[in-house]
Amino acid sequence: MARIRTLPTLDRRGHPLSSSGFQRAALDALPLAHAFHDAAAEAAGGPLRAANVEVLQINVGKRCNQSCRHCHVDAGPDRAEVMPRAVLEACLQVLERSRIPTVDVTGGAPELHPAFRKIVTRARALGRHVMDRCNLTVMRLACNADLPGFFAEHGVEVIASLPWYARRRTDAQRGEGVFEASIEALRALNRVGYGHEGSGLLLQLVTNPAGAFLPANQSALERDWKRELGRRYGVYFNRLYTITNMPISRFLEWLLESDNLEGYMARLVAAFNPAAVSGLMCRSTLSVGWDGSLYDCDFNQMLELPIGSSIFDLAAGRADLAGRAIRVGPHCFGCTAGAGSSCGGATAAA
């Protein structure tokens, strides 16, 4: 099997964009037609506020075996940030003491965290639904060859990234060799029952546009993907989620280098869909950073826009997050453009 080609992260290169402050300044300097705060307030009838937490999204670190060109985390093999045991325990304490129904484990490649299986096992023992955001190629590592069986045993919902159903566009975004390894991983998941209707084992695919444009209609793409992945590779899955690329980190780097930033942001602003505001994932998600800091979403986490409390505060009952004002910025137009975008795909009719 071909080797997966990776590139150094912004962090390793010492790139100015490895600073979240530099990223925020670049976005704030753009001449946008509207501020997100105003657009969202008009659509929601007031400032954006959090509702009940439905999803605890745990970002266990920035280590990854890939270095995708659009990665908003700046994850890669050279990143050292890994969630310490004390933070993991606090996350599990919060789950024990709350009714948050879903745990969403992300990274980096979350499966590279040494305690990944423990998190899954304990969250499932608490009766919580567990989703794993999987890059697929992590399964080709010898230590992870049994991951499909582990996922099936614990009924984990697998959310797998695959930008396109053909090699060229996938490898252009995620690295040479990724497509072939991803198809092998999908076949392995299919073999244990994932993606087959009625098996109860959910395999969802995630596609991001390979460039500075909005995703296509989710249901139309899903029909194409089911037909083409079945016909070409004998691969099956349940749902396709379309996700808009966020102007953060390495995608921001590409937008700047390709002179697409201003045009892309103007496109996101022009495509603002008021109907997407009520379903914004930040309203029902609590995002935990590798160091225990809390955020409204994974994007705010990468731009270092914290809520101001930690998972330790929450575990100790010292944080009241209900109805909090969501922190917003120009990047938020990425979640309200067109049919809307979230970790679960489109959120509204376009």
Partner 1 sequence: MDSYYKPDDLPRFPEMGKEAPGLWEKFLGWYRAVFAEGALTEREKALIALGVAHAVQCPYCIDAFSRTCLEKGADPEQMTEAVHVAAAIRGGATLVHGLQMRAHVHRLSM
Q: Which stretches of the chain bind partner 1, using CB under 8 A?
A: 164, 166, 169, 209, 211, 213-217, 220-221, 224, 338
> What is the smallest separation between the CB atom of 329 and partner 1, expressed in angstroms?
24
Angle value at C-alpha 70, between 239 and 66, nearest 5 degrees: 85
> What is the smallest separation between the CB atom of 81 and partner 1, expressed in angstroms?
34
> What is the smallest separation between the CB atom of 219 and partner 1, expressed in angstroms?
11
Q: Which residue bears the tokens 């965290």?
A: 113
> What is the smallest separation between the CB atom of 290 and partner 1, expressed in angstroms?
34
Nearer to partner 1, 85 or 213 (CB): 213
Nearer to partner 1, 172 or 275 (CB): 172
Order of all β-strands in the sheet with 129-134: 239-242, 203-207, 157-161, 129-134, 102-106, 55-59, 285-288, 294-295
Nearer to partner 1, 106 or 161 (CB): 161
> What is the smallest separation between the CB atom of 294 and partner 1, expressed in angstroms?
34
Q: Tell me how crowded residue 258 is: count the other CB atoms within 10 A of its CB.
A: 12
DSSP 41-104: HHHHTSS-B-----EEEEE-BSB-S---TT-SS--BTT---B--HHHHHHHHHHHHTS---EEE
> What is the smallest separation between the CB atom of 337 and partner 1, expressed in angstroms?
10
Nearer to partner 1, 99 or 232 (CB): 232
Question: 46: phi > 0 → left, psi -120 to 50 → alpha, else beta; which?
Answer: left
- Residue 206 tokens read as 């995630």
Nearer to partner 1, 20 or 217 (CB): 217
Nearer to partner 1, 217 or 309 (CB): 217
Nearest Cα to 106, choosing from 161, 148, 180, 149?
161
Q: Tell me how crowded residue 318 is: count the other CB atoms within 10 A of its CB.
A: 10
Nearer to partner 1, 61 or 338 (CB): 338
> What is the smallest separation between the CB atom of 221 and partner 1, expressed in angstroms?
5
Strand, coil or helix: 108:
coil
Nearest Cα to 140, choosing from 7, 4, 6?
4
